[in-house]
Amino acid sequence: MNISKILNSLPGLSVLVAGDICLDRWCSYDPSLSEPSRETGIPRLAVVSTESTPGAAGVVASNLAALGVGRVTVLGAVGMDGHALELIEALRRRGIDPSHLVREPTIPTFTYTKLINLRTGEEDQPRVDYVLARQPPASAESAVVSTFERLAPNADAIIVSDQAETDEGGIVTQALREAMTRVALAYPGKTIWVDSRKRGEHYRRVLLKLNEQEANECCERIGGGDCQSLRRLIEHNTLIVTRGDKGALIYTEEGVRNVPAHTVATPVDICGAGDAFNAGASVALALSGDPELAVRLGNTVASVTIMKRGTGTASASEVLAATEKVVSG
């Protein structure tokens, strides 16, 4: 199977994206409208427009939808606030099914608020994040776990986004990780693709994708010293470590392979590149069973998205054109 055949097969796929789904709010402010508050004397940031897009796991889902995957479903936990309504609407606009999001009134919707200077187009103010820095309520965790186990058997591929950078607060808890292991054992041919920022060593029986920094930190936590020890820790399954322009390392029982990067000389915005990679690589793996082909498609999808502002996406035609350009070059 090649990249063209994979892209043509995507409309027949059903993909479940589970984990930390959030809202990205791109707020443009006009510095000329700044003036001190009458009450506090602190200058205001005058936001004049806002664009809302799915973030974190939502970026993966958006890329899957843009590539042409037939059914994309998201699973996570959100609040009962206005940010949840913005997120649900942003998902629906992209053809992504948000009906399985767990609504929990005691938590905030995971939200990144990015402040963009209207005059320069640059993000030059501290980001305002809405985060949960404690364990999710047991009711929300239980609902996510039971829904995962119900939806997983019918998904052609499962992508898990473990994005929380605090010790607690993310919806990818130990209970959900154990559910993933149960599904993996029950359906050994199913692609379960996991991207984890801080907890890679806690996964079993899945494909684990880490960037180089995450892999090094993971190995330090387990005292292994190298990624081979980490691959052994996840019990004879594939580990992919992305290394930017140095390419990606694929660790399997057969050994280690390096796949060169699809380099871009002058990227416009690398925000969301890892999520774009996850989207392309995971569906390629599900369809072909070939980790090297998966990495190549993931790299190509990311190479398209980083030429766009914000968390851009790539269509199948854009990916095919980028692939042909590499081959002809």
Question: Both tokens of residue 32?
Answer: 């000329």
d(CA 285, CA 280): 9
pLDDT score, position 240? 93
Whole-number pLDDT of residue 233:
62
Taking the C-alpha atoms of 191, 192, 196 and 200 in order, what is their torsion angle to the nearest 10 degrees?
-100
Question: Which pLDDT belongs to residue 301?
Answer: 93
**Per-residue pLDDT averaged across 296-322, rounded?**
90
| Cα atoms in the 13 Å half-sphere on the side-chain side of 121 | 4
What does each C-alpha distance from 115 to 28, 49, 69, 129, 132 come to in angstroms? Answer: 6, 10, 32, 11, 21
* Helices 291-305 & 273-288 angle (0-180, nearest 10): 150
Question: What are the φ/ψ torsions at residue 27 (nearest 5 degrees)?
Answer: -105, 115
User: pLDDT tens digits, residue range 106-161?
Assistant: 999 999 999 999 999 999 999 999 999 899 999 999 999 999 999 999 999 999 99
- The pLDDT score that the predictor gives to residue 166 is 76
pLDDT given for residue 25 in this prediction = 97
The predicted-structure confidence for 42-98, as pLDDT tens digits, reads as follows 999 999 999 999 999 999 999 999 999 999 999 999 999 999 999 999 999 999 999
The residue type of 324 is E
Query: Are the C-beta atoms of 231 and 214 separated by less than 8 Å?
Result: no
Supply 241's token pair. 């470590």
User: Which residue is listed with tokens 């501290």?
Assistant: 126
* Beta-bridge mates of residue 14: 71
Q: What is the structure's pLDDT at 157?
A: 98
pLDDT of residue 235: 58
Q: What is the pLDDT averaged over residues 26-32?
A: 97
Q: What is the mean pLDDT of residues 317-326?
A: 85
Side-by-side strand order, sheet with 128-130: 47-56, 21-29, 111-117, 128-130
22 strand-pairing partners: 55
* Fold for the domain defined by 3-34+42-328: UDP-N-acetylmuramoyl-L-alanine:D-glutamate ligase (3.40.1190)
**pLDDT of res. 312:** 86
pLDDT of 59 reads 96
Q: What pLDDT sits at residue 225?
A: 61
pLDDT band at 229 (very low <50, low <70, confident <90, very high): low
Report the percent of the chain where pLDDT is more than 70. Answer: 95
What percentage of the chain reaches a pLDDT higher than 90?
71
- pLDDT category, 254, cuts 50, 70, 90? confident
Q: What are the beta bridge partners of residue 257?
A: 250
Query: Is it the case that residue 41 has pLDDT exceeding 60?
Result: yes
* Buried b / exposed e along 155-169 (16+ C-beta atoms within 10 A): bbbbbbbbbbeeeeb
Determine the Cα–Cα distance for residues 241 and 163; give it in Å rounded to an integer: 16
79-88, 173-182, 216-225, 268-277: least confidently modelled range: 216-225
Backbone angles phi, psi at 74, to 5 degrees: -110, 145
Domain boundaries, the chain: 3-34+42-328
Looking at per-residue confidence, does 299 or 326 come out higher?
299
74 contacts 32 by C-beta, under 8 angstroms: no
What are the φ and ψ backbone dihedral angles of 71, each rounded to 5 degrees? Answer: -140, 120
Task: Supply the pLDDT for residue 234.
Answer: 61
* Mean per-residue pLDDT, 275-301: 95
Q: What is the pLDDT of residue 276?
A: 93
Q: What is the mean pLDDT of the chain?
A: 91
pTM for the predicted model, two decimal places = 0.93
